[in-house]
Structure 1
Amino acid sequence: MSTHIIEELLSNLPEKEVPVRSVMVGVHWTAVCSSHCGLATTFAPDKPHDHSTHVRNVGNLHRKSAQELAKYALSKNTMEAGIGIAAINSLLEFDENDAVEVNASEVLMERGAGKNVAIVGHFPFIPKVKKAVNNLWVIEQNPVEGDHPANAASDIIPRADVVAITGSSLINHTLDDLLGLCKPEAFVVILGPSTPISPVLFDHGANIIAGSKVIDETAVLNAISQGATFQQVSGVRLLAFTCP
């Protein structure tokens, strides 16, 4: 597992410290609000009450700067790492005018028509994509019927013409390795609300990054605090950017 991409994301954050306004770790989603409200998947610990899953400085995270919290992204503790990725996302600046109106599933169907497609993460659109492509391989840490386990990635991804990788792979520090498995000519999409909208991902082989922008912070925090899945969260705009 590697954290080179996270380290690059951290080095590209604003130098001037930005105070954290709030931190919320919900069942499914984590939010950190500083310059903006950033989101990341909550990776629940495998063992409840395991000491290794304790979050450092819990109860005082909102007293830190966003840059300090962003460094949590390097932690092997996935709850801390999720807080860190959300903090990174809360600091990123980008021009919405550069975004394209594109649905990630539509891109995968168009680019994957007659080709081999690998998707890391079990997304809701998978049945639709499966009908439109030659072969669809889904790689998932918690596989359901038809999925492949995470350790199958090294066999599957090098054979794929189109690869879609969940941005939450940054949280468990697998994104670097997954991108390294892609063949040079593969079309690569990094997607999901955890995905940092940063050119750093283009530098590492992404053709499209599809992330999110919180446009109604109150609505998002209310939903997350009440255990919402992403489909239940309102106040978020999905944005996709293509490699320049």
Structure 2
Amino acid sequence: MLLSGIKKKALRLAEGLELVDFGFALPYTWVLIEGPEGKALGVAMTLPEEVQRYRNSIDEPSLEAFIERADSLNVIERTLGIAAVNAVSQYHLDVSNLPDVDVVELVEGFDRVAVIGNMPPVVRALREKGIETLVFERNPKLWDRDTYSDALEYVLLPKAEAVIASGSALVNGTLEMILDRAKNAELIVLTGPSAQIHPELVKGTGITHLAAMKVVNLERALLGLKLGSFRGFEEGNRKYVVRV
């Protein structure tokens, strides 16, 4: 399984790093770690519509314990696990020389693009360029007239020439299916704060680019997370794109 492979690689990257703090919260679950080179913050989108009456099996929180749950069927454990994987990834990832390219620019030249997770600014920009855009969303609250249920990804993704997938696909466990059904796509971008994963962890999966955010102002980003603020968190970040 994709997540099982990711966690094994992430556990090796986690050697010598320690858990500092964490929070299962809205809008993002977050994990703060520290190593000889300093601190790093990883996040994962919290999906309240996925949460049921789960009991967290982690009695003693640690970085390794969180990463071990990255492929858990318990969405709370999985969300903490992905945030921990992202924290480790960010610790090892130098983005200083990586470009800040709008994700829409990456798919220019393609006629049919699938967007996994309704991202209105991205969708609007694609359609303004005359690109046929197939939008899929699991949460009915985020549907509009031109949004498909994610149940139709299985049928329609093989027709996509390029795919822009929210990093939340890591959190809800659908990324493996998306990659399998999008095998005809020449370009697959994982985007958003939840896509902070290190490119080495997804090499060979079919993902071609990661368009994510690096925390550059740790205090500001942490305060935003603790206050439940999208904007407060993102103001402490720098966007980047990296080829896998």
**Who is 2:67 aligned against?**
70
Counterpart selection for 1:136 from 118, 133, 158:
133
Q: Does 1:202 align with 2:199?
A: no
Stretch of structure 1 that moved more, 133-142 or 178-187: 178-187
Specify whether residues 204 and 11 from structure 1 end up closer, same or farther in structure 2 by C-alpha distance, changes over 3 A only: same
Offset at residue 17 of structure 1 (A): 4.7
Which one scores higher on RCO, CA 8 angstroms, separation ≥ 6? 1
Secondary structure in structure 1 of the residue aligned to 2:109: helix
Superposed, 1:163-178 pairs within 5 Å as: 163-178=163-178
Offset at residue 161 of structure 1 (A): 0.7
**Who is 2:23 aligned against?**
24
Deviations 1:197-225 (A, max 9, x none): 32232311112111221112221121112
Q: Does 1:51 align with 2:53?
A: yes
**Who is 1:127 aligned against?**
124
> 1:34, 1:232 → 2: CA distance?
17
The count of residues paired between Structure 1 and Structure 2 equals 230
Specify whether residues 72 and 104 from structure 1 end up closer, same or farther in structure 2 by C-alpha distance, changes over 3 A only: same
**Who is 1:221 aligned against?**
222
Secondary structure in structure 2 of the residue aligned to 1:20: strand
Q: Is the 1:224–1:233 Cα contact (8 Å) retained in structure 2?
A: no
Q: What letter is aligned with 2:42?
A: G
Specify whether residues 120 and 242 from structure 1 end up closer, same or farther in structure 2 by C-alpha distance, changes over 3 A only: same
Superposed, 1:4-15 pairs within 5 Å as: 4-13=1-10, 14=13
Secondary structure in structure 2 of the residue aligned to 1:85: helix
Q: Is the 1:20–1:32 Cα contact (8 Å) retained in structure 2?
A: yes
Q: TM-score, normalised by structure 1?
A: 0.86
Q: Does 1:86 align with 2:83?
A: yes
Stretch of structure 1 that moved more, 98-107 or 116-125: 98-107
Identity of aligned residues (%): 21
Q: TM-score, normalised by structure 2?
A: 0.86
> 2:72, 2:18 → 1: CA distance?
21
Offset at residue 5 of structure 1 (A): 2.2
Q: What letter is aligned with 1:51?
A: R
Specify whether residues 72 and 45 from structure 1 end up closer, same or farther in structure 2 by C-alpha distance, changes over 3 A only: farther
Q: Is the 1:111–1:162 Cα contact (8 Å) retained in structure 2?
A: no
Secondary structure in structure 1 of the residue aligned to 2:68: helix
C-alpha RMSD over aligned residues: 2.1
Offset at residue 89 of structure 1 (A): 0.9
> 2:234, 2:96 → 1: CA distance?
23
> 1:185, 1:51 → 2: CA distance?
37
Q: Is the 1:45–1:79 Cα contact (8 Å) retained in structure 2?
A: no
Q: Is the 1:189–1:209 Cα contact (8 Å) retained in structure 2?
A: yes
Specify whether residues 15 and 120 from structure 1 end up closer, same or farther in structure 2 by C-alpha distance, changes over 3 A only: closer
What residue ranges of structure 2 are gaps of 5+ in the alignment?
35-39
> 2:50, 2:164 → 1: CA distance?
25
Deviations 1:26-77 (A, max 9, x none): 2111110113110110111556xx532x33347x53xx2x122112211112
Secondary structure in structure 2 of the residue aligned to 1:111: coil
Secondary structure in structure 1 of the residue aligned to 2:70: helix
Specify whether residues 160 and 133 from structure 1 end up closer, same or farther in structure 2 by C-alpha distance, changes over 3 A only: farther
Superposed, 1:151-162 pairs within 5 Å as: 151-162=151-162
Q: Is the 1:117–1:133 Cα contact (8 Å) retained in structure 2?
A: no
Offset at residue 97 of structure 1 (A): 4.4
Specify whether residues 231 and 104 from structure 1 end up closer, same or farther in structure 2 by C-alpha distance, changes over 3 A only: farther
Secondary structure in structure 2 of the residue aligned to 1:170: helix
> 2:176, 2:210 → 1: CA distance?
15
Offset at residue 96 of structure 1 (A): 1.7
